[in-house]
């Protein structure tokens, strides 16, 4: 039996600010617990060393404004690099599955990054997934986001990609940051049904969450048949988390992981650093490695402490039924959307960056291609905390774009460079694996 | 005048050092059934060659404890574990007499679950009824709070005075419960035998009127007084490879990056020297398939030595392949052995004139005919195989070091890159083999005329070592000290800073160093770990946590001035 790969990168020398929840000792007690247990010495575990990602890996997913260097620190490069290392270990068959216990987190970062949103600047899992898609030719990927917060960044990145199934369950957006992740957020017109949200009422317990897993997530995965399952493994559904209000336990997390059996899990949020994280991380490692976790629990845990209310369970059942139906008729819905015709599908967005009080305005255009799921263009503007105002134009050609979409995308880049209305014009060409950014002020182009 | 003796598996080596030269050196076969006699025989020869009353220090390196553990001849020992919640308890079972008890502590040293005295008494009754006289006790997070371990020890001392007990927190305060438990268990198992050996040695030296200090070489390449080793027999394991590595450092005395290859009869031991300092095993000594908390040099042992046989493996389809090792079947052919060995190959190929070279040639010709090669081609092939194997093992060794996990941004960004300057050859076969490996790897090599007794020289001239780790928790107002397992209140916590924590660690280093008779060497300390974390409650700082490590690292005593070439 192959071992489970663990990459533990607590970034003991990095914090957003000294008392911010995303600070040095977030994984200190996890370190204490995991090392004291001696689990890393077991033959079922293989520990990996963190590594450093390249700028190109980031450019494959993000348009960082004005450039990547100004949006990240070295810690981000190591967190991303670590996810790539675990991805490689799994894809090369060195391990049966892998868990990257890394920080800083990333799942609130969207395609365009003007700054830090919800403790995130760049998004670890999509960067890893695009890297693995490019390197190993994987097509279909499922991401299951089990963080208590809606994984709005990951959702946005894959909103128009029908080959990536994004499932997020989280505390209802009416009661928690980022205030999104409602049931009607189901993907763009040509990728309808491969974004599935399950908002849950505060105080939902193990019973409720595992019901979602058994009755929605598992069937979705069985029908979607992904080549790779990634768990965005936030740990803030825990009953002791200071930033949210759910009632999930370490046992619950371990059972969730056993049922889901992800190929790769990547840590996201979770801020109950003393009373939850050490036990949840142990639980996930044990579940992934196939080690019996029945002896694991938090010091203050009691199996009778939280009871799922029957009304909540009824509500969850209804949500599950609705979302399953939406997913199953996605083919028809997409066909109908295509028939409606039109050249581009246009949406206006306002995006708020809570950490840095940035307000971004976006106009997104998706090409309604008859042959593929189109390519995206984002016209984005925002004032940065340093007072500078940026107006940028971004073109993203996905891995599954058709010939026509590729050519159009590339020629729009030339047009927008000539247009002169923008500070920066970016082209993300995932087919050629080439990433261009044109600084109109200095008229210099950078190609990664 | 100084003496170093390394009782190895095959040979016992000894040197007598004075001024700046090795006055005499002795190499005798080891009698596995009587290590003490092997040791004393070499000691007598060395003492006889010098002036007895000028003898200042004798350092011994012995495989006694390693052998006891490997052959499971240690005393029957019960292991009482308090694993609390987490991994399945059975994962921690070690040996046939493992018992699990209630009682839990968390990473901040807070008691989660009290122990059950009735349960403890029931287990002790059973232990006694089995006639077991040794008990090791280990609790998860006893490194942060050892009150449960101490309670059990107290009950044993009061109610079973003829059972002796070792608690894990006094052995080590590093994180990793199973390693702590295993180390405590090995300690309890070997205490009696080791003390008997120590008694014998003291007695023998008294009979010989030798008044020199007696020290024991540890796995970390430093010494401790024989008297201190009586409580810590585990420190003496793997001292042989440590002796060789330190011997290589003693012979080179510079700051280069080297790999030491000690080519023995059946194995080659490989160790790393980085900037003149030997590298520690990041997971502690690995004994009988278990990791421990024993500080040891990182030594990789591969099954390839001078006596490894060279042979031909035949497949069902009639194909054949030439093999080297991993077995040994007696001596090399040139020394009367039945089968040709690596030594014979080099003897023939390089015309080394070892033993009876014609016997090497005869056996190799026999093999060459079987595989339808000329003897020259056969030997060239084998030499290349040996060289490749060693070169690969060296590369693996420093790749492993480069790929050690690290937990800080700074460590990852600045990376680790091992630039190999040189190979150092130790052991009798080194002279023939090492230059070729170095050539293949395109680096320098170093072989000294004293390479064959470098292990004894290493034992002879190394200084005492000591590492002290202090964990401070200002919110819960306590600190712990390793080794010893002290847990004390901090007194003032108001404005406790990193500098205070370092001072505390230094204070204990000096105290413990003094108890161990480290003398002036205690002043040559360095800090190797300085961690500090805030404890935030809400948005405010409720306290601080510090982990400080300070050590006197491996080095040489002041009397050592190198050896004349
Ligand atoms: Zn979260
Ligand atoms: Zn298209």
- pLDDT value at residue A346: 95
Four-residue CA torsion sign, B96, B97, B101, B106: negative
For residue A405, the distance in angstroms to the closest alpha carbon of chain B comes to: 39
* Residues A314 and A346 occupy one common structural domain: no
Higher pLDDT among residues B230 and A17, named by residue = B230
- Over range B84-91, report the average pLDDT: 97
Cβ proximity of A302 and A197 under 8 Å:
no
Q: Compute the distance from residue A282 Cα to the ligand 1 centre, in Å.
A: 19
Residue A341 has pLDDT above 80, yes or no: no
Mapped onto helix, strand or coil, the DSSP state of residue A332 is helix
List the single residue in A33, A36, A75 with the smallest CB-CB distance to B409.
Answer: A75
User: How many domains is chain A partitioned into structurally?
Assistant: 2
Q: Give the residue among A243, A239, A241 at the shortest CA–CA distance from A252.
A: A239
Alpha helices in A290-329 (DSSP H): 310-328
Of the three residues A331, A351, A372, the one that is the final residue of a domain is A331
Place of tokens 């280990």: B138
Where on the phi/psi map is residue B284: left (φ > 0), alpha (ψ -120 to 50), or beta?
Answer: left
* Residues A69 and A199 occupy one common structural domain: yes
* Residues A327 and A348 occupy one common structural domain: no
Q: Give the residue among B556, B565, B354 at the shortest CA–CA distance from B447.
A: B565
- pLDDT value at residue A336: 94
Largest separation between any pair of C-alpha atoms in chain B: 83
Instruction: Flag whether A84 is in a domain.
Output: yes
The ligand whose atoms approach the alpha carbon of A168 most closely is 1
- Nearest residue on chain B to A51, alpha-carbon basis: B412
- pLDDT value at residue B410: 87
Mapped onto helix, strand or coil, the DSSP state of residue B440 is helix
Mean pLDDT for all residues in chain B: 93
Rounded CA gap, A124 and A111, in Å?
12
Cβ proximity of A399 and A134 under 8 Å:
yes
For residue A178, the distance in angstroms to the closest alpha carbon of chain B comes to: 21
Instruction: Flag whether A233 is in a domain.
Output: yes
Lowest mean pLDDT: which of B156-165, B179-188, B275-284? B275-284
Residue B258 has pLDDT above 80, yes or no: yes
Cα angle B239, B240, B245 (rounded to 5 degrees) comes to 95
* Residues A150 and A272 occupy one common structural domain: yes
Place of tokens 């020290």: B215
Q: Compute the distance from residue A250 Cα to the ligand 1 centre, in Å.
A: 16
**Contact call for A13 and B410, based on CB within 8 A:** yes
A75 inside 8 A of chain B by CB:
yes
Q: Compute the distance from residue A371 Cα to the ligand 2 centre, in Å.
A: 5
Q: Compute the distance from residue B497 Cα to the ligand 1 centre, in Å.
A: 33
Tokens encoding B550: 């300070």
For chain A, the straight-line distance linking the first and the last C-alpha, in angstroms and rounded, comes to: 40
Position B466 confidence tier, pLDDT thresholds 50, 70, 90: very high
The contacts found for A437-444 with CB under 8 angstroms, 24 or more apart, are: A437/A59, A437/A63, A437/A67, A438/A413, A439/A66
Four-residue CA torsion sign, B219, B224, B227, B232: negative
Residue B565 has pLDDT above 70, yes or no: no
- pLDDT value at residue B493: 66
Tokens encoding A396: 């993203």
- Nearest residue on chain B to A8, alpha-carbon basis: B407
Cβ proximity of B328 and B307 under 8 Å:
yes
- Over range A104-122, report the average pLDDT: 94
Tokens encoding A331: 């083919």
- pLDDT value at residue B223: 97
**Contact call for A295 and B533, based on CB within 8 A:** no
Rounded CA gap, B162 and B164, in Å?
6
Cβ proximity of B341 and B308 under 8 Å:
yes
Q: Which residues of B touch A18 (CB under 8 A)?
A: 534
Place of tokens 């404005």: B495
Tokens encoding B404: 């050690």
- Over range A189-208, report the average pLDDT: 97
Rounded to whole angstroms, what are the CA distances from B274 to B185, B257, B394, B450, B525? 33, 5, 14, 22, 18
Cβ proximity of A86 and A37 under 8 Å:
no
Query: What is the DSSP track for B450-495?
Result: TGGGHHHHHHHHBPB-EEEEEEEETTTTEEEEETTTEEE--S--TT
- The percentage of chain B sitting over the pLDDT mark of 90, rounded to a whole number, equals 77
**Contact call for A51 and B408, based on CB within 8 A:** no
* Residues A361 and A325 occupy one common structural domain: no
| Structure letter (DSSP) for residue B23 | E
Neighbour tally for A315: CB within 10 Å = 16
Instruction: Flag whether A46 is in a domain.
Output: yes
**Contact call for A38 and B107, based on CB within 8 A:** no
Q: Count of A–B CB contacts within 8 Å? A: 114
List the single residue in A12, A38, A42 with the smallest CB-CB distance to B408.
Answer: A12
**Residue-range definition of the domain harbouring residue A414:** 341-447
Q: Which CATH number belongs to the domain containing residue A29 in this structure? A: 3.40.800.20
Cβ proximity of B386 and B379 under 8 Å:
no
* Residues A286 and A362 occupy one common structural domain: no
List the single residue in B86, B407, B540 with the smallest CB-CB distance to A37.
Answer: B86
Cβ proximity of B152 and B166 under 8 Å:
no
Mapped onto helix, strand or coil, the DSSP state of residue B182 is helix
Identify the H or E element spanning B144.
none
Q: Compute the distance from residue A266 Cα to the ligand 1 centre, in Å.
A: 13
- Over range B232-241, report the average pLDDT: 93
Position B232 confidence tier, pLDDT thresholds 50, 70, 90: very high
Instruction: Flag whether A336 is in a domain.
Output: no
- pLDDT value at residue A18: 83
Rounded CA gap, A161 and A195, in Å?
9
A291 inside 8 A of chain B by CB:
yes
**pLDDT per residue over A144-183, tens digit each?**
999 999 999 999 999 999 999 999 999 999 999 999 999 9
- pLDDT value at residue B264: 85
- pLDDT value at residue A170: 97
- Over range B72-89, report the average pLDDT: 95
What does pTM read for this prediction? 0.94
- pLDDT value at residue A156: 98
* Residues A289 and A357 occupy one common structural domain: no
Cβ proximity of A149 and A244 under 8 Å:
yes
Rounded CA gap, A112 and A150, in Å?
18
Lowest mean pLDDT: which of A238-247, B413-422, B517-526? B413-422
Residue B440 has pLDDT above 70, yes or no: yes
Residue B374 has pLDDT above 80, yes or no: yes
Cβ proximity of B251 and B258 under 8 Å:
no
Instruction: Flag whether A96 is in a domain.
Output: yes
List the single residue in B406, B539, B540 with the smallest CB-CB distance to A50.
Answer: B406
List the single residue in B141, B531, B536 with the smallest CB-CB distance to A36.
Answer: B141
- Over range B423-428, report the average pLDDT: 89
**pLDDT per residue over A389-427, tens digit each?**
999 999 999 999 999 999 999 999 999 999 989 999 999
- Over range B56-73, report the average pLDDT: 92
* Residues A171 and A305 occupy one common structural domain: yes
Higher pLDDT among residues B400 and A248, named by residue = A248
Rounded to whole angstroms, what are the CA distances from A89 to A6, A8, A47, B215? 10, 14, 11, 47
CA A107 to chain centre: 4
Cα angle A160, A162, A168 (rounded to 5 degrees) comes to 80
Active site residues of A: 108
**Contact call for A37 and B536, based on CB within 8 A:** no
Instruction: Flag whether A402 is in a domain.
Output: yes
Read off φ and ψ for residue B348, nearest 5 degrees. -75, -45
The ligand whose atoms approach the alpha carbon of A234 most closely is 1
Q: What is the dihedral of CA A124, A125, A128, A132, to 10 degrees?
A: 180
* Residues A10 and A78 occupy one common structural domain: yes
Q: Which residues of B touch A78 (CB under 8 A)?
A: 409, 412-413
Rounded CA gap, B550 and B296, in Å?
16
Residue A371 has pLDDT above 70, yes or no: yes
**pLDDT per residue over B179-227, tens digit each?**
999 999 999 999 999 999 999 999 999 999 988 999 999 999 999 999 9
- The percentage of chain A sitting over the pLDDT mark of 90, rounded to a whole number, equals 95
| Structure letter (DSSP) for residue B517 | T
For residue A42, the distance in angstroms to the closest alpha carbon of chain B comes to: 9
Residue B266 has pLDDT above 90, yes or no: no
The ligand whose atoms approach the alpha carbon of A431 most closely is 2
* Residues A315 and A370 occupy one common structural domain: no
* Residues A99 and A194 occupy one common structural domain: yes
Q: Compute the distance from residue A150 Cα to the ligand 1 centre, in Å.
A: 7
* Residues A94 and A223 occupy one common structural domain: yes
Cβ neighbours of residue B289 closer than 8 Å, sequence gap 6 or more: none
Q: Compute the distance from residue B175 Cα to the ligand 1 centre, in Å.
A: 29
**Contact call for A299 and B106, based on CB within 8 A:** yes
- pLDDT value at residue B529: 95
Instruction: Flag whether A286 is in a domain.
Output: yes
Q: Which residues of A touch B404 (CB under 8 A)?
A: 49
Of the three residues A265, A300, A331, the one that is the final residue of a domain is A331
Of the three residues A283, A307, A331, the one that is the final residue of a domain is A331
- Nearest residue on chain B to A250, alpha-carbon basis: B86
């Amino acid at each position: 039996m192959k071992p489970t790969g663990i990459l533990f990168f607590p970034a003991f020398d990095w914090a957003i600010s000294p008392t911010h929840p995303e600070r040095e000792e977030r994984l200190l007690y996890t370190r204490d617990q995991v090392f004291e247990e001696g689990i890393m010495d077991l033959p079922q575990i293989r520990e990996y060393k963190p590594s450093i990602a390249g700028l190109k890996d980031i450019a494959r997913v993000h348009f960082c404004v004005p450039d990547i260097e100004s949006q990240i620190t070295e810690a981000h490069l190591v967190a991303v690099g670590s996810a790539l290392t675990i991805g490689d270990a799994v894809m090369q068959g060195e391990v049966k599955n892998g868990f990257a216990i890394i920080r800083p987190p990333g799942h609130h970062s969207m395609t365009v990054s003007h700054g830090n949103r919800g403790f995130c600047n760049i998004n670890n899992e999509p960067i890893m997934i695009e890297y693995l898609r490019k390197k190993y030719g994987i097509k279909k990927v499922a991401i299951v986001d089990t963080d208590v917060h809606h994984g709005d960044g990951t959702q946005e990145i894959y909103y128009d990609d029908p080959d990536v199934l994004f499932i997020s369950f989280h505390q209802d957006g009416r009661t928690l940051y980022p205030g999104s992740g409602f049931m009607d957020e189901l993907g763009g017109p040509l990728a309808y049904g491969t974004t599935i949200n399950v908002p849950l009422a505060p105080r939902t317990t193990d019973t409720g969450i595992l019901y979602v897993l058994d009755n929605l997530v598992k069937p979705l995965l069985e029908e979607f048949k992904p080549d790779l399952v990634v768990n965005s493994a936030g740990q803030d559904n825990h009953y002791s988390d200071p930033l949210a209000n759910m009632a999930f336990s370490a046992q619950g997390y371990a059972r969730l992981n056993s049922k889901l059996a992800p190929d790769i899990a990547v840590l996201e949020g979770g801020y109950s650093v003393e009373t939850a994280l050490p036990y949840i991380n142990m639980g996930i490692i044990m579940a992934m490695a196939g080690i019996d976790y029945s002896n694991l629990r938090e010091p203050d845990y009691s199996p009778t402490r939280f009871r799922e209310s029957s009304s909540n369970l009824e509500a969850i059942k209804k949500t599950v039924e609705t979302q399953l139906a939406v997913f199953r008729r996605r083919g028809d819905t997409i066909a109908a959307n295509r028939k409606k015709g039109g050249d581009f599908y246009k949406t206006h967005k306002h995006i708020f960056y809570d950490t840095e009080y940035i307000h971004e305005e976006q106009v997104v255009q998706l090409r309604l291609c008859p042959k593929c799921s189109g390519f995206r263009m984002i016209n984005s503007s925002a004032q940065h905390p340093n007072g500078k105002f940026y107006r940028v134009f971004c073109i993203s050609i996905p891995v599954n774009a058709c010939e026509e979409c590729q050519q159009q995308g590339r020629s729009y880049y030339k047009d927008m460079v000539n247009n002169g209305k923008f500070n920066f014009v970016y082209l993300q060409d995932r087919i050629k694996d080439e990433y261009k950014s044109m600084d109109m002020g200095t008229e210099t182009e950078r190609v990664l | 005048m100084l003496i170093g003796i390394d009782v190895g598996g095959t040979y016992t080596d000894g040197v007598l050092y004075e001024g700046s030269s090795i006055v005499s050196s002795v190499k005798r076969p080891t009698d596995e059934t009587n290590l003490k006699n092997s040791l004393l025989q070499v000691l007598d020869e060395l003492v006889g060659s010098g002036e007895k009353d000028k003898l200042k220090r004798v350092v011994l390196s012995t495989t006694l404890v390693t052998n006891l553990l490997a052959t499971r001849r240690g005393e029957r020992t019960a292991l009482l574990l308090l694993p609390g919640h987490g991994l399945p308890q059975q994962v921690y079972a070690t040996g046939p007499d493992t018992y699990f008890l209630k009682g839990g502590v968390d990473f901040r040293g807070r008691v989660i679950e009290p122990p059950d005295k009735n349960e403890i008494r029931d287990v002790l009754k059973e232990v006694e009824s089995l006639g077991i006289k040794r008990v090791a006790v280990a609790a998860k997070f006893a490194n942060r709070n050892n009150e449960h371990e101490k309670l059990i020890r107290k009950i044993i001392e009061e109610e079973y005075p003829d059972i002796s007990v070792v608690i894990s927190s006094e052995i080590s305060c590093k994180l990793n419960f199973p390693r702590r438990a295993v180390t405590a268990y090995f300690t309890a198992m070997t205490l009696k035998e080791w003390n008997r050996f120590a008694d014998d040695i003291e007695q023998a030296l008294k009979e010989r009127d030798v008044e020199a200090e007696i020290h024991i070489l540890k796995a970390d390449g430093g010494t401790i007084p024989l008297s201190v080793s009586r409580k810590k027999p585990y420190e003496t394991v793997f001292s042989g490879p440590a002796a060789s590595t330190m011997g290589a450092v003693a012979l080179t005395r510079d700051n280069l990056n080297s790999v030491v290859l000690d080519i023995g009869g059946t194995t080659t031991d490989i160790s790393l020297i980085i900037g003149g300092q030997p590298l520690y095993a990041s997971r502690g000594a690995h004994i009988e398939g278990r990791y421990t908390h024993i500080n040891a040099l990182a030594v990789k042992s591969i099954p390839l030595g001078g006596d490894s046989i060279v042979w031909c493996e035949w497949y069902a389809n009639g194909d054949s392949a030439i093999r080297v090792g991993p077995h040994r079947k007696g001596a090399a052919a040139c020394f009367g052995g039945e089968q040709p060995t690596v030594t014979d190959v080099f003897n023939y190929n390089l015309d080394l004139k070892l033993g009876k070279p014609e016997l090497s040639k005869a056996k190799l010709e026999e093999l060459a005919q079987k595989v339808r090669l000329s003897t020259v081609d056969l030997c060239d092939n084998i030499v290349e195989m040996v060289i490749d194997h060693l070169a690969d093992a060296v590369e693996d060794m420093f790749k492993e070091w480069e790929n050690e996990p690290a937990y800080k941004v700074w460590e990852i960004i600045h990376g680790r890159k091992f630039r190999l300057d040189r190979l150092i050859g130790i052991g009798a076969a080194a002279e023939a083999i090492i230059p070729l490996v170095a050539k293949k790897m395109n680096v320098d090599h170093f072989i000294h005329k004293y390479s064959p007794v470098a292990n004894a020289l290493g034992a002879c001239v190394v200084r005492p070592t000591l590492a002290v780790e202090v964990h401070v928790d200002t919110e819960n107002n306590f600190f712990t000290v390793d080794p010893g397992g002290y847990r004390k209140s901090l007194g003032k916590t108001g404005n406790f800073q990193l500098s205070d924590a370092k001072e505390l660690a230094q204070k204990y280093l000096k105290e413990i160093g003094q108890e161990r008779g480290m003398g002036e060497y205690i002043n040559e300390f360095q800090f190797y770990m300085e961690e500090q974390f805030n404890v935030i409650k809400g948005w405010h700082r409720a306290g601080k946590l510090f982990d400080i490590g300070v050590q006197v690292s491996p080095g040489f005593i002041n009397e050592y001035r190198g050896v004349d070439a």
